[in-house]
Chain A
Amino acid sequence: MSAPQEIKTASARAMLLGPALVFMAMVFFLPIWTVLVQSVSDPAISNALPATVAAVAEWDPHTAPTIAMQEALAEDLRAIDDPQILGDVVRRLNSQQAGFRTLISRTSGALNRLADDASIDLVAIDPRWDDPIYSQAIAATMSPTTDRFLLAAVDMARDAAGNIGTVGPDVSANRDTFLRTFAIAATVSLVCLLIGYPYAMLMASSRGWVRGVLIASVLLPLWTSLLVRTAAWYVLLQDKGLINSALQWVGLIDEPLGLLFSRTGVVIAMSHVLLPFMVLPIYSVLLTIPPNLGPAAASLGANPIRSFLHVQLPLSSLGIASGSLLVFMSAIGYYITPALIGGPTDQMISSLIAFFAMGSANWGMAAAFGVLLLIPTLLLYVAYDRVTSRTNGRST
Chain B
Amino acid sequence: MKAAKIVFGLLAVTFLMAPLVTILPLAFTSSDLLSYPIRSFSLRWFEELMISDAWRMSIVNSLVIGAGATLLATVLGTLVSLGLRRSFAFSGILKSALLLPMVVPAVILGVGMQITFIQLGLVNTHVGVIIAHTVVALPFVIVSVSGSLAGIDMRVERAAMSLGANPLRVFGHVTLPLMLPGVLSGAVLAFATSLDEVVLTLFVAGPNQRTLARQMFSSIRENISPAIAAAAFVIIVGTVVVAGLVLLFRAAAQRQKPSTVTV
Chain A contact residues, CB within 8 Å of chain B: 12-13, 16-17, 19-20, 23-24, 26-28, 30-35, 38, 195, 198-199, 202, 210, 213-214, 217-218, 220-221, 223-236, 238, 240-242, 245, 272, 275, 329, 332-333, 335-336, 339-340, 350, 353-354, 357-358, 363, 366-367, 370, 373-374, 377-378, 381, 385
Contacts of B208 in A (CB 8 A): none
Contacts of A214 in B (CB 8 A): 9, 13
Given A19-B79, A202-B5, A357-B203; A217-B13 close (CB under 8 Å) = yes
Can you identify 9 A-B contacts, CB atoms within 8 angstroms?
Answer: A20-B80, A27-B116, A214-B9, A231-B23, A242-B36, A275-B15, A370-B112, A374-B108, A381-B103
B104 at the interface (CB under 8 A from A): yes
Given contacts A16-B82, A19-B76, A32-B104, 13 further A-B contacts (CB under 8 A): A17-B94, A31-B113, A195-B12, A195-B15, A223-B243, A227-B232, A228-B23, A228-B235, A232-B22, A235-B26, A275-B16, A336-B198, A381-B103
Within 8 A of A (CB), among B39-80: 75-77, 79-80
Say yes or no: A272 contacts B15, CB within 8 Å: yes
Say yes or no: B115 contacts A245, CB within 8 Å: no
B160 at the interface (CB under 8 A from A): no
Say yes or no: B220 contacts A232, CB within 8 Å: no
Query: B141-165, CB under 8 A of A: which get 1 and which 0?
Result: 0000000000000000000000000
- Give Cα A241 to B19, complex, Å: 12
Contacts of A17 in B (CB 8 A): 79-80, 83-84, 94
Contacts of A24 in B (CB 8 A): 97-98, 135, 138
| Interface size counted on chain B using CB atoms at 8 A | 72
A29 CB, min distance to chain B CBs, angstroms: 8
Say yes or no: A35 contacts B111, CB within 8 Å: yes
**Which of A16, A235, A329 has the largest number of chain B CB atoms within 10 A?**
A235
Contacts of A30 in B (CB 8 A): 112, 116
B34 at the interface (CB under 8 A from A): yes
Say yes or no: A38 contacts B115, CB within 8 Å: yes
Contacts of A229 in B (CB 8 A): 19-20
Within 8 A of A (CB), among B5-31: 5, 8-9, 12-13, 15-20, 22-23, 26
Contacts of A223 in B (CB 8 A): 192, 239, 243
- Give Cα A45 to B120, complex, Å: 25
B242 CB, min distance to chain A CBs, angstroms: 11
- Give Cα A195 to B8, complex, Å: 9
B contact face: mostly helix, strand, loop, or mixed:
helix
Closest chain A residue, CB of each to CB of B77: A20
- Give Cα A199 to B76, complex, Å: 38
Contacts of A332 in B (CB 8 A): 105
Contacts of A340 in B (CB 8 A): 217, 220-221
A contact face: mostly helix, strand, loop, or mixed:
helix
Given A220-B17, A232-B22; A13-B83 close (CB under 8 Å) = yes
Given A235-B35, A238-B35; A16-B83 close (CB under 8 Å) = yes
A257 CB, min distance to chain B CBs, angstroms: 15
Q: Which of A232, A329, A350, A374 contacts B19 (CB 8 A)?
A: A232
Contacts of A367 in B (CB 8 A): 111
Say yes or no: A221 contacts B19, CB within 8 Å: yes
**Which of B96, B120, B198, B236 has the largest number of chain A CB atoms within 10 A?**
B198
Given A225-B239, A231-B216, A235-B34; A378-B103 close (CB under 8 Å) = yes
Closest chain A residue, CB of each to CB of B98: A24
Q: Which of B8, B103, B199 contacts A336 (CB 8 A)?
A: B199
Contacts of A225 in B (CB 8 A): 192, 195-196, 213, 232, 235-236, 239
A343 CB, min distance to chain B CBs, angstroms: 13
B110 at the interface (CB under 8 A from A): yes
- Give Cα A38 to B105, complex, Å: 17
Given A20-B79, A230-B220, A357-B110; A374-B192 close (CB under 8 Å) = no
Say yes or no: B16 contacts A272, CB within 8 Å: yes
Say yes or no: A333 contacts B19, CB within 8 Å: no
B103 CB, min distance to chain A CBs, angstroms: 5
Contacts of A377 in B (CB 8 A): 103-105
Contacts of B135 in A (CB 8 A): 24, 27-28
Say yes or no: B105 contacts A31, CB within 8 Å: no
B114 at the interface (CB under 8 A from A): yes
B245 at the interface (CB under 8 A from A): no
- Give Cα A23 to B122, complex, Å: 14
Say yes or no: A202 contacts B109, CB within 8 Å: no
Say yes or no: B13 contacts A213, CB within 8 Å: yes
Say yes or no: B112 contacts A236, CB within 8 Å: no
Contacts of B115 in A (CB 8 A): 31, 34-35, 38, 363
Q: Which of A13, A221, A240 contacts B16 (CB 8 A)?
A: A221
B228 at the interface (CB under 8 A from A): yes
Given A19-B79, A28-B135, A336-B199; A231-B220 close (CB under 8 Å) = yes
**Which of B8, B9, B213, B235 has the largest number of chain A CB atoms within 10 A?**
B9
**Which of B12, B36, B113, B131 has the largest number of chain A CB atoms within 10 A?**
B12
- Give Cα A228 to B247, complex, Å: 23
B106 at the interface (CB under 8 A from A): yes
Contacts of A35 in B (CB 8 A): 108, 111-112, 115
